[in-house]
Structure 1
């Protein structure tokens, strides 16, 4: 059984300025027999994840970034989440801990953000901003020192403020509550929006200021993105359906359905009929290695179906393992078969593969219901 880092304890010490925050405590977690069984990770998955992590470490540059293509801040943030999701702790004296610490220091460099915006300097736009903000909320309280935790907290203040201001930009009714490529955009899409939603919810879980109506507006946008009309009570006309890239589109896709389902769960709507309908749709339309943006979709799919439980979780666990393990390279990394996704590089694909396989490790708070 794994020990889990007590982030809440650390956050309280950061707020109080206690020097004891430099020493990271651990707490044992004890659950039901079902929960304990869920902690068991097959040896083949452990081996694949270990090889993937080593492949990521080989990509780390002298400046601390972990990226083999452009969008270095966003891609490094994905790599940090991948390392963290399998238990790496910044500055713990191990190779992984030292690599994580250096990667965090790279992301926190003032040159990597404009005001509170992480998406301009590296060209990743609001995609990268959401990814980096989510990463920082997930590792808040888990830095290598009090100083690093305080700098993470300071960076998050501006990052979250930018997400909230971007959501408040005037938009058509069916686009309200979502986000698009730039902070000033007057339209929205689900792919960009889910990263902001997860960042806000994780920030709220950290005790940072996130107005309740920001989450409610996001939920309204998600309902508009469901591919069957939803009534005033949140009930869809066609129960088994999915999500689309933009509202008004009635053709669900694997990636967007998985993203929409996870976004609803992240907002606390685990029992929503949209979640149940999306899970059933995904059971009927399982992922394939040649899907467009396969790794991106698998990240959402593995998380969301795990949260849904039952047949959805069992099926997704099996398929995630089968699909990802058979395409891992001899060098330990992953690379996309999709031409568009391939352009993002092997750190991108490898990080998402590790995050997909690592759902069952239960280290990152965003994976916990």
Structure 2
């Protein structure tokens, strides 16, 4: 599938999903559901950007603009924090980084609002500063739910770290020291067999969690550390278990990260896995275009569409 046109069934599935998401946007520009906040808005904006529709003049241009404005409005102007949790902060930072350079700031604010709202670049710089401050004050060098946390976990840290890496790719300054500390945290949480722990001290609680293994494999790849033994171990686990699905109720979350980890690490393995994903999601998509799961239909749809979006490869963070 690499280098070929996007298959028709993927396009049709994606289009139905986008129509569903567009129909669920709130008057304030965000998305509702149990996980409402700037992070899920960031994921929705990425899903709207990912299939290559013109973000400034295409059919979803208004949805994109309203989503970006909603994220910026939710940001603390003094600290740069997006609020609710560092999960939201990470995904909102990632969403802004993907919108930066694609969405025309001049079209973002109406004449009466102009001058009141921050530009995407200014909001992104603030978000990066908040993440860096949180990491600097954390003795483990990573992130947990609160920006003031003194412990960390690999799931929240993956969300925040990917936001930082996307911002760096967009041209925002992220110090090498910050990247190195985050990578040190992830290597300390990765076993020789590629299993990845959740929280606690280094080397604690290794298990075969597909989402966490995928997160670690992805951050190593995007941080340009594919030479690390830990990247080879996590990627090796994923490529050796292509037909395995996430245990419990985290399927969409797992798909979102595994799609990217395989695409960045082993394109042939991704092609095999992607065929399984497309088949599974075709069976799972509801008549209204949504996908159901633990996170509710709106967030589950965002995650499923972003897993499929590797077929398009328009998002900067999805470039190899």
Q: Same fold (TM over 0.5)?
A: yes
Stretch deviating more after TM superposition (348-357 or 312-321): 312-321
Residue 268 of structure 1 and its aligned partner are, at CA, apart by 0.8
Residue 345 (structure 1) aligned with residue 309 (structure 2): no
Gaps of 5+ in 2: 110-117
Change (3 A) 1:141 1:116: farther
Structural mapping, 1:107-126, within 5 Å: 107-109=71-73, 111-113=74-76, 115-120=78-83, 123=84, 125-126=85-86
The number of equivalent residue pairs is 308
Task: Show the counterpart of 1:146.
Answer: 106
TM-score relative to the length of structure 1: 0.78
2:297, 2:75 → 1: CA distance? Answer: 22
Aligned to 2:186, which of 203, 219, 222?
A: 222
The 3 A distance-change label for structure 1 pair 185 and 54 is same
Post-superposition Cα deviations, 1:151-170, rounded to whole Å, max 9, x if no partner, equal 11111222111111111124
Q: Which residue of 2 aligns with 1:78?
A: 43
Of residues 157, 160, 164 in structure 2, which corresponds to 1:193? 157
If the length of structure 2 is used for normalisation, what is the TM-score?
Answer: 0.89
Q: Distance in 2 between matches of 1:251 and 1:200?
A: 26
How far apart are the structure 2 equivalents of 1:290 and 1:253? 8
- Distance in 2, Cα, partners of 1:191 & 1:57: 28
Q: How does 1:48-197 map to 2 (within 5 A)?
A: 48-92=13-57, 94-109=58-73, 111-113=74-76, 115-120=78-83, 123=84, 125-146=85-106, 148=108, 151-171=119-139, 176-197=140-161
1:260 paired with 2:216, answer yes
DSSP-derived class of the 2:171 partner? coil
8 A Cα contact 1:177 1:219, kept in partner: no
> Any idea what the Cα deviations from partners look like across 1:85-135, whole Å, max 9, x if unmatched?
11233331x3311211121122222x5436334442xx2x10000110111
SS at match of 1:326: helix
Choose from 189, 194, 202 the match for 1:241.
Answer: 194
For residue 142 of structure 1, report the CA deviation from its aligned partner: 1.6
Give the number of the structure with larger relative contact order, counting CA–CA contacts within 8 Å between residues 6 or more apart. 2
User: Does the aligned pair in 1 maintain the 2:210–2:245 contact within 8 Å?
Assistant: no
